[in-house]
Amino acid sequence: MSYTTNKSKELFERAQLSIPGGVNSPVRAFKSVGGTPLFMKNAKGAYMYDADGNQYIDYINSWGPMILGHAYEPVVNAIRNKVADSTSYGAPTELEIEMAELIKSMAPNVDLVRMVSSGTEACMSALRLARGYTGRNKFIKFEGCYHGHADAFLVKAGSGVATFNIQTVPGVTTGVSQDTLTAPYNDIAAVEQLAAQHKGEIAAIIIEPVAGNMGCIPPVPGYMEALRAICDKEGIVLIFDEVMTGFRLAAGGAQERLGINADLITYGKVIGGGMPVGAFGGKKEIMQHIAPLGNVYQAGTLSGNPIAMIAGYTMLKALKDDPSIFTQLEEKTAYLHKGLDEALKMANTPYVINRLGSMISVHFSDKPVTNFKDAASADNALFNKYFHAMLNEGIYLPPSAYETWFISTALSTADIDRTVEVTAKFFKNN
């Protein structure tokens, strides 16, 4: 393909004069993969178009929410129809009730749900609630999991923190981070040890039920059940961070898909259909401690924003009304999985493909990748080369091995075939 990115280069130069690193979220800068980030102009269905007019098959899908592809018409129309009424009231609306009722009808164990404006806010608020409810300070998170950029979570975090190899985040005080306990993902003995060591001190265990911020790492069989049992035994609140998995792995998210009940659940981008939204919800016994019912304070001027609500509502309703969407996602991703497997088998490179539902990623590793250490010991320099080879052929993968790929229903068999073909071509030449 004749391929120039001059306009993106120009925009990146200009952006850096006014925006830190030229981007509003670090991974977008392509800092670890190298090269110039592409500035996007528009997107439709499975394709994004950059400022130079190049087309890309999109495997990021806005990091998850575009389950039905970009510019999904019902969502676009719903926003268009709603926006003239006003973009914000700072007062309750009926639409917020409809949204909460819809979420409750799809997600298990959600008696009450509070809307916020990002996944970070959702996780931060759920943690505060768990602490307020239990009267305990410490919590356990897992190495390589990312729960947004609130201070307490920036310890051994995944996503950009891992991509940029930031060991300790300046600005996060030791006072805060000493209450963050960490364990390797998929290692139940490590959690048992922490629970014994800090008996009566642990408010919550927060986990990505299928990790997506160190590449895709599903839980090993029995792991989630064991975590649930520890939480029950020790009076610990189990928080499922379903910012990526919610309404993607099944209508009822990872809870439904894995058959595990969480106490609190956090949601993010998916429930905004691409608008800035998050939510946290759970059992009434815990949720009733949130203000104004209780004293655990949490608030937001733009929370329940009508434009975000109508976008999210329309998207979730589409997912609820057509269960075949989840079958389609499964089939498309399984087809991609099989194709990548066949292409990589021909290459002289060890690899691991991890997948659950429509979350998938490739690690260039000669052993199973079940935790962050495994992901970090893979050949991530090779991933970076692979990323650029794909990008040059119009296939947009996440710009880091520490991110999952997301599949949308808009992706066609031809798109997947092409992805596999380009993968095979790259590895034949390497």
Distance, C-alpha 427 to centroid of its chain: 28
Q: Indicate the residue whose CB is closest to ligand PMP.
A: 119
Query: Contact 317/102 with Cβ under 8 angstroms?
Result: yes
- With contact defined as beta carbons under 8 Å apart, do 34 and 64 qualify? no
| Residue 241 in the binding site for ligand PMP (CB under 6 A) | yes
Least distance to ligand PMP from the beta carbon of 365, Å? 22
Contact segment (CB under 6 A) with ligand PMP among 99-107, 144-152, 334-342, 371-379 equals 144-152
Residue 214 identity: M
Query: Of the listed pieces 112-120, 180-188, 219-227, 293-301, which binds ligand PMP according to CB under 6 A?
Result: 112-120
Residue 266 CA to residue 111 CA, distance in Å, equals 13
Contacts of 91 (CB under 8 A, 6+ apart): none
Among 28, 82, 141, 147, binds ligand PMP (CB under 6 A): 147
CA 416 to chain centre: 22
**Please, what is the minimum distance in Å from the beta carbon of residue 177 to ligand PMP?**
18
Question: For ligand PMP, what does the binding mask look like between residues 32 and 51, x meaning CB under 6 A?
Answer: --------------------
Contact pattern from residue 349 through residue 388 relative to ligand PMP, giving x for each residue in contact according to CB under 6 A and a dash for the rest: ----------------------------------------
227/187 Cα distance (integer angstroms): 10
Of the two residues 163 and 328, which places its CB atom closer to ligand PMP in the complex?
163
Which of residues 238 and 420 has its CB atom nearest to ligand PMP in the complex? 238
Distances (CA, A) of 192 to 12, 41, 196, 205, 309: 48, 49, 6, 12, 40
Catalytic one among 50, 58, 179, 241? 241
For residue 192, how many other CB atoms are within 10 A of its CB? 17
**Binding mask 123-142 vs ligand PMP (x if CB under 6 A, - otherwise)?**
x-------------------
Residue 240 is classified by DSSP as E
204 binds ligand PMP (CB under 6 A): no
Count of residues near ligand PMP by CB under 6 A: 18
Name residues whose C-beta falls within 8 Å of residue 283's C-beta, 6 or more positions apart in sequence: 109, 111, 263, 264
Given the rule CB under 6 A, which of 1-9, 181-189, 207-215, 408-416 is the region that contacts ligand PMP?
207-215
Sorted by sequence, the CB contacts under 8 Å of residue 58 that are 6+ apart come out as 43, 46, 47, 48, 66, 70, 396, 408
Binding stretches for ligand PMP (CB under 6 A): 63, 118-120, 123, 146-148, 159, 208, 212-213, 241, 243-244, 268-269, 278
Catalytic residues: 146, 241, 269
